């Protein structure tokens, strides 16, 4: 069933240079026409949530341009809908936000004005397709104070586990310990950074943490209070990507070239929505060759594109070869160019005969507007 719930999305500060020099990481393109934040917004829309606040910290102009009124997610409403919440300059100086408690304190008025019973608090650098109502079901069934969605991470090494907040869970599903990116992981239960609680509890947490000078929701509000609260975990069994580096961004993007991943994430029963643009179809030249690639509208392809993702308006000249690469909007690849394992930001131009070669384990990223 659908519940009386609201959504709060905290935009992260992941440093994926140079791609995040001008935008927040959740506004990065995925699969050509989507953005990372489209997934959590679509999950909320598909779960019947009609009051969503996106709390931003910096570099949020691209995000605001993409989400705008919230129309693609049916959140362009007279009452509530989608609200972009820039940093509250009256309560904290821009650039001195110490943690997500500061961010939540800055949007305290938005939370207070909202009338919903439950809050779904999410970080925005996770890519998944799921139903938030299932988490609320589990939350109510366990009579929990806080419910955390988690994924059992299938990994042979510890490097992946060190990137996550990990949960120790007993047989009843109760969280007995929380470790934030531990050096020596003791479990593979990775938090999806999705937290369900009653709105009144969240307001109390914000007030108490702010009064004590605490700044981190996980370390201060959850870890320190774990024994005094009923914190439970709910397992998510679908696919999950955490985007927190250039390598993880590249790997997550390229995975969508595989049919099984597209079927998992772009489930027609739970569609992923995004901002649409009316552009002409892509034009292919007589000598154009494309293999296993996403080609967005408005492109001009005269050369060869293999195992790559092209956003809108990209131009590939004759004799150019693009392999295993991500090319963002309005970039130009001139004649005779060869690129492999690179990520071009918007409006990059690489001139005739140039060659750029990265590695799958270390893709080469080029900043917006660069002329090579």
CB atoms closer than 10 angstroms to residue 217:
23
Mean per-residue pLDDT for 241-253? 94
Sign for the pseudo-dihedral over CA of 223, 226, 227, 229:
positive
Measured in residues, the chain has a length of: 372
Mean per-residue pLDDT for 201-217? 93
CA distance 89 to 232: 35
* pLDDT tens per residue, range 255-271: 999 999 999 999 999 99
* pLDDT tens per residue, range 31-76: 888 999 999 999 999 999 999 999 988 788 888 889 988 999 999 9
Mean per-residue pLDDT for 105-119? 94
Contact between 123 and 218 under an 8 Å Cβ cutoff? The reply is: no
pLDDT of residue 14: 78
Q: What percent of the chain lies above the pLDDT cut of 90?
A: 77
pLDDT of residue 229: 95
pLDDT exceeds 60 at position 93: no
pLDDT of residue 157: 60
pLDDT exceeds 70 at position 178: yes
CB atoms closer than 10 angstroms to residue 197:
21
Mean per-residue pLDDT for 356-365? 94
pLDDT of residue 158: 60
> What values do phi and psi take at 299, rounded to 5?
-85, 160
Complete domains list, the chain, with CATH:
5-265 (3.90.550.10), 283-366 (2.160.10.10)
* pLDDT tens per residue, range 314-342: 999 999 999 999 999 999 999 999 999 99
pLDDT of residue 94: 47
Confidence band, pLDDT 50/70/90 cuts, at residue 90: low
pLDDT exceeds 80 at position 145: yes
């Amino acid at each position: 069933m659908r519940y009386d719930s609201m959504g709060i999305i905290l935009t992260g500060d992941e440093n994926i240079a140079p791609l995040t020099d001008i935008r927040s990481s959740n506004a990065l393109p995925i699969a050509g026409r989507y953005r990372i934040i489209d997934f959590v917004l679509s999950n909320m829309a598909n779960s019947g949530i009609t009051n969503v606040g996106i709390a931003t910290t910096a570099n949020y102009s691209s995000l605001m341009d993409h989400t705008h009124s919230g129309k693609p997610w049916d959140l362009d409403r007279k009452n509530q809908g989608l609200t972009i919440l820039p940093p509250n300059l009256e309560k904290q100086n821009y650039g001195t936000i110490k943690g997500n408690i500061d961010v939540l304190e800055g949007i305290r008025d938005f939370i207070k004005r909202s009338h919903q019973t439950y809050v779904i608090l999410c970080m925005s650098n996770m890519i998944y397709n799921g139903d938030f109502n299932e988490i609320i079901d589990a939350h109510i069934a366990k009579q929990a104070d806080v419910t955390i969605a988690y994924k059992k991470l299938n990994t042979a090494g510890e490097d992946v586990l060190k990137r996550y907040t990990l949960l120790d869970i007993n047989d009843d599903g109760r969280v007995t310990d929380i470790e934030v990116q531990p050096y020596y992981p003791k479990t593979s239960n990775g938090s999806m950074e999705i937290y369900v609680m009653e709105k009144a509890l969240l307001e109390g947490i914000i007030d108490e943490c702010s009064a004590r000078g605490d700044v981190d929701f996980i370390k201060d509000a959850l870890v320190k209070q774990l024994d005094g609260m009923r914190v439970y975990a709910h397992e998510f069994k679908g696919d999950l990507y955490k985007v927190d580096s250039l390598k993880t961004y590249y790997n997550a993007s390229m995975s969508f070239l595989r049919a099984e991943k597209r079927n998992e994430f772009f489930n027609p029963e739970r569609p992923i929505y995004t901002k649409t643009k009316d552009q002409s179809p892509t034009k292919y030249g007589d000598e154009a060759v494309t293999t296993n690639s996403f080609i967005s509208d408005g492109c001009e392809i005269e050369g060869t594109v293999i195992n790559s993702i092209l956003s809108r308006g990209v131009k590939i000249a004759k004799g150019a070869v693009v392999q295993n690469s991500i090319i963002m909007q309005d970039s130009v690849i001139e004649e005779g160019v060869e690129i492999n394992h690179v990520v071009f930001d918007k409006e990059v131009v690489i001139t005739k005969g140039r060659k750029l070669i990265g590695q799958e384990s270390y893709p080469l990223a080029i900043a917006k507007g660069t002329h090579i």
